[in-house]
Structure 1
Amino acid sequence: MIKDLWFTVQTIDKKTFAISEYGHWEKVHSFLLLGEEKAVLIDTGLGIDKIKRITDQLTTLPIDVFTTHVHTDHIGSHGEFERIYVHEGDKDWLVNGIKGLSIEQIRKDISRDITFPTPETFNPSTFKPFQGEPTGLLNDGDIFELGNRRLIIFHTPGHSPGHISTFDETNGYLFTGDLLYDETPIYAFYPSTNPVDLVNSLEKISEIPNVSMVYGSHNTLGIKPKILEEVKIADKFLREKELTKFGTGIHKFNGFSVQF
């Protein structure tokens, strides 16, 4: 086990690791997936501390970074890696900055409700989210072979225009980013979000076959796949009640909630 003051490393299996930041109110998870030839890191966390310090201890394989979406808490350590991939829908935010969110608000959010010691290098008053050109783009249906491990990309917009989910077909793990998690609401109430797209994306992932576990990017680490049946029920309810629009509030279901 890796002991670290900021990151909590949890073993999902011998080739899959969650790198979690439980000392911050967002309780964000990044995920390192190892193949025999290369590795993929799904998101790079908050950027409060350097995540590469952890990945260097877990593998010597070359790492490609898959960006679930371009929000501050998912791209924090992107600058530590050479190969970064993002969907076209979020590329502009990665290059030119996140739209609709002031740097003052970003700094306020990154610095509040912290319960673990932060490194001396972290200064919220000067904190800036990563900006840079991606190595390449992720597209719906893309397949990546890591060496005895196959990943499939699903474009799942709503929370952001270019949000993606990653299905590890080899193990049945579905990494849903901020499309699906428990405890706190999944949100699509900012101007840059889209409630209709979010519900369509939830329906899309609920139809993926042979899911063994769902891994969202916040809160509980690992949700049993029966939640996808609850997603189907929720989708039907939200559409029938015409709730898929801004201002309809928080809608609670069995195991998760959404906010429009």
Structure 2
Amino acid sequence: MNTIVDPWFTVTELDPKTFAISEYGHWEKVHSFLLLGKEKAALIDTGLGIDHIKRITDQLTDLPIIVLTTHVHADHIGSHGEFDTIYVHQDDADWLINGIKGLSLDQIRKDMSRDITRPVPKSFNPHTYRPFQGIPDKVLVDGDIIHLGKRDLAIYHTPGHSPGHISIFDQPTGYLFTGDLFYAETPIYAFYPSTNPVDLVNSLERIAQIKGVSKIYGGHNQLGLESTTLFDALEGVQYLREHNLHRHGTGIHSFNSFSVQF
């Protein structure tokens, strides 16, 4: 791959057919991921929508792109409108069609516009910013397999952060894309009224039991976690359950490689 130099996006080649597209100029440090198959490509999330991510994907592939939505929050669906084919889990489909629940538009705009460290394009206006809304082309359920051509992606329903949150297991490489279920450096958010701490803990346990994981790629912060961090997830699950802490209002709980806020 020729190095892509861009004022807003940072592109990292994870392997010759897998790319992280990161937005380090924003405090959320969001990652989207482009996975190339033989016949199609999958774009896992589309970022903040501050700038146009299709400018980057056009430089990386000419394959038709399926957008796989890990969950319907503004920082993961920002450039959905730039693509023709969008998939979302059935339990987040209403949020995509009718608007995100649990966060006001005013709060979303504040979060989108604060603590930005790189120049933003003139097209970005935080005062008029609105999260994408639209009808998905396919509604996903747990156990679905997305065929890209010599590359199959398994869909795991991992609710908690949102009702229809999914994790995506790239079977050929062992990469596990966890969206906002599991990442490092800042707490995993499970304190919104629309989050479910019990579901989130159950989902952490579930991904920790997936066999063959070689690397974990969350939606924020550090790019790539070792598969051994799943042992930390299991230990965290056990501790939270034993002490009845997986409920709203119990605060931030820190473990070896991650933390969670209820």
- RMSD between aligned residues: 0.5
Displacement, 1:100?
2.1
The residue aligned with 2:22 is 20
Match of 2:106 in 1: 104
Number of aligned positions between the proteins: 260
Partner of 2:258: 256
Deviation sequence 1:57-107 (CA, Å, 0-9, x none): 000000000000000000000000000000111111100111121111111
Structure 2 residue aligned with 1:203? 205
Spell out, residue by residue over 1:158-189, the C-alpha distance to the aligned partner (whole angstroms, 9 max, x if none).
Answer: 00000000000100000000000000000111
Residues of 2 paired with 1:244 and 1:31: CA distance?
A: 30
- Deviation per residue, 1:22-44 (Å, 9 max, x gap): 00000000000000110000000
2:12 — aligned with what?
10
- Please name the residue that 1:188 is paired with: 190
**1:95-244 → structure 2 map (5 Å cutoff):** 95-244=97-246
Query: Take 2:100 and 2:189, find their aligned partners in 1: how far apart are those partners?
Result: 17
CA distance in 2, matches of 1:104, 1:202: 31
| Secondary structure in structure 2 of the residue aligned to 1:165 | strand
Within the alignment, does 1:59 sit opposite 2:61 as a pair?
A: yes
Candidates 66, 77, 80, aligned match of 1:78: 80
- Specify the SS of the correspondent of 1:238: helix
Question: Match of 2:49?
Answer: 47
How far 1:236 moved relative to its partner? 0.7
Between the aligned partners of 1:163 and 1:9, the Cα distance in structure 2 is 25
Q: TM-score, normalised by structure 2?
A: 0.98
Q: Gaps spanning 5+ residues in structure 2: where?
A: none
Counterpart residue identity of residue 119, structure 2 = P
SS in 2 for 1:31: strand
2:70 is aligned with what amino acid?
A: T
AA aligned to 1:136 is K
Ranges of 4+ aligned residues in structure 1 off by more than 2 Å:
none
Partner of 1:69 in structure 2?
A: 71
> Take 1:165 and 1:213, find their aligned partners in 2: how far apart are those partners?
13
Deviations 1:202-234 (A, max 9, x none): 000000001000000000000000000111111
Aligned equivalents of 1:104, 1:190: Cα separation in 2: 15
Write the distance in 2 (CA, Å) between the matches of 1:244 and 1:10.
Answer: 35
Shift, 1:148, TM fit = 1.2
C-alpha distance in structure 1 between counterparts of 2:197 and 2:128, whole Å: 33
State the identity %.
70
Structure 1: distance between partners of 2:173 and 2:141: 21
Letter in 2 for 1:2: I
Amino acid at match of 1:169: Q
Amino acid at match of 1:55: T
Matched to 2:84, the amino acid is E
Q: Which runs of 5+ in 1 are unaligned?
A: none
Separation of aligned partners in 1, 2:134 and 2:179: 21
Cα distance in 2 for residues equivalent to 1:143 and 1:104: 37
